[in-house]
């Protein structure tokens, strides 16, 4: 259970909760009430990051909608911004706070620090209490993340870089394999990727090219890959991101969509958002790419739909894969 009792608790926990250390950002933490053993406490509803210079209207609309749906009663706002952009960030924080308060979400804590590094000074914007940011890697939330096998990146940009382009896998190899295997091509490719995921291996360039070709061949084939979360969402994500970096065009859009799904249901929403952004960017150069699944994931993420709800697509993916002849352990 995450406990955020003090300003230092909140600031130290943010990198581990997001999966990266935010800069020039506003972080909103929505809280609701929960009861356990006859005692009322706070439950974490949502943690969301926005660019510090982003107009507050769209984030406010989103947060108010989520707060109403999830019965959020309070919000913690943390501004992590320094330099010339700090003033605009603080104004945006005020707009967010006022809009949420008007919708019945009480401001519980408002903090400002230039950066989330050990020793940086923070201030409580309501009480003017001051203090120093502790080393985020010593927080209980960070320890729990490490125990769960999750990495905390130095920045959002560091995560985004993982979704960039690597050397392209030769699509001609995939085309030849498809011609040789015919109707068995999709089954053989999905089965091989399943073995890679199950064994924690790195997909080869040849396999990446074949996966990209299958994923781009139609919605059913793409959706069949969603079933590979059966072997672990985090494990499937680790393999699929390596595939997505090696393919281009339509294939990249679809493999990034699959990657976003795995990240989403693994509980790493910020990383799912980065994968979705990368897929959107790739789709601009691939107008033939079908994006309904991408749109669905994007809407779900914006509305903070719980990962367990989205995870139901894994069963549909297994069914699609089985129709292609794939067998699951």
Cβ atoms of residues 19 and 159 within 8 Å: yes
Per-residue confidence band for 140, with pLDDT thresholds at 50, 70 and 90: confident
Cα–Cα dist 13/22, whole Å: 12
Q: What percent of the chain has pLDDT over 70?
A: 95
Architecture of domain 7-156: 3-Layer(aba) Sandwich (3.40)
Contacts of 6 (CB under 8 A, 6+ apart): none
3-state secondary structure of 141: helix
- Cβ pair 206, 173 in contact under 8 A: yes
The Cα–Cα gap between 62 and 72 comes to 13
- Is 168:306 a contact under the CB 8 Å cutoff? no
pLDDT-derived band of residue 155, with 50, 70 and 90 as boundaries?
A: confident
Contact between 195 and 329 (Cβ < 8 Å): no
Per-residue pLDDT of 6-57, as tens digits, reads 899 899 999 988 989 999 999 999 999 876 555 556 788 899 999 999 999 9
Q: Residue 185: which of 326, 35, 284 has the closest Cα?
A: 326
pLDDT at 39: 53
Residue 323 pLDDT > 80, yes or no?
A: yes
Question: Which of the four pLDDT bands, split at 50, 70 and 90, describes residue 153?
Answer: confident
| pLDDT, tens digit (0-9, with 9 covering 90-100), for 85-123 | 999 999 999 999 999 999 999 999 999 999 999 999 999
Domains of the chain, by residue range, sit at: 7-156, 171-323
The predicted-structure confidence for 267-320, as pLDDT tens digits, reads as follows 888 899 999 999 999 999 999 999 999 999 999 999 889 999 999 999 999 999
- pLDDT number for residue 329: 86
Ranking 123-127, 143-147, 222-226 by mean pLDDT, the lowest is: 143-147
| Burial class of 180 by CB neighbour count within 10 A (0 to 12, 13 to 18, 19+) | exposed
Does the model's pTM come out above 0.85? no
Q: What is the mean pLDDT of the chain?
A: 92
């Amino acid at each position: 259970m995450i406990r955020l009792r003090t300003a230092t608790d909140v600031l130290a926990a943010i990198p581990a909760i997001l999966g990266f250390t935010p800069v020039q950002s506003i972080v909103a933490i929505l809280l609701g009430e929960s009861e356990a053993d006859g005692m009322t406490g706070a439950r974490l509803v949502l943690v969301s990051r926005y660019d510090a210079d982003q107009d507050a209207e769209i984030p406010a609309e989103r947060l108010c909608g989520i707060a109403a749906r999830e019965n959020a009663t309070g919000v913690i706002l943390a501004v992590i911004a320094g330099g010339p952009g700090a003033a605009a960030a603080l104004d945006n924080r005020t707009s967010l706070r006022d809009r949420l308060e008007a919708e019945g979400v009480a401001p519980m804590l408002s903090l400002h620090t230039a950066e989330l590094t050990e020793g940086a000074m923070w201030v409580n914007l309501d009480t003017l209490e001051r203090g120093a940011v502790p080393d985020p890697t010593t927080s209980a939330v960070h320890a729990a993340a490490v125990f769960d096998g999750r990495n905390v990146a130095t920045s959002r940009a560091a995560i985004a870089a993982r979704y960039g382009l690597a050397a392209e896998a030769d699509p001609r190899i995939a085309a030849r394999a498809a011609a040789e295997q015919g109707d068995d091509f999709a089954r053989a490719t999905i089965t091989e990727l399943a073995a890679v995921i199950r064994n924690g291996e790195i997909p080869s360039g040849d396999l990446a090219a074949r996966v990209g070709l299958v994923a781009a061949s139609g919605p059913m084939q793409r959706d069949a890959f969603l079933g590979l979360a059966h072997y672990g969402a985090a494990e499937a994500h680790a393999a699929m991101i390596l595939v997505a970096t090696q393919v281009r065009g339509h294939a990249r859009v679809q493999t990034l969509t699959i990657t976003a799904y795995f990240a989403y249901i693994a509980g790493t929403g910020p990383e799912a958002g980065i994968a979705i952004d990368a897929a959107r960017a790739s789709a601009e150069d691939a107008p033939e790419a079908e994006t309904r699944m991408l749109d669905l994931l994007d809407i779900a993420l914006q509305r903070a739909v719980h990962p367990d709800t989205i995870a139901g697509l894994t069963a549909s993916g297994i069914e699609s894969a089985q129709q292609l002849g794939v067998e699951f352990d």
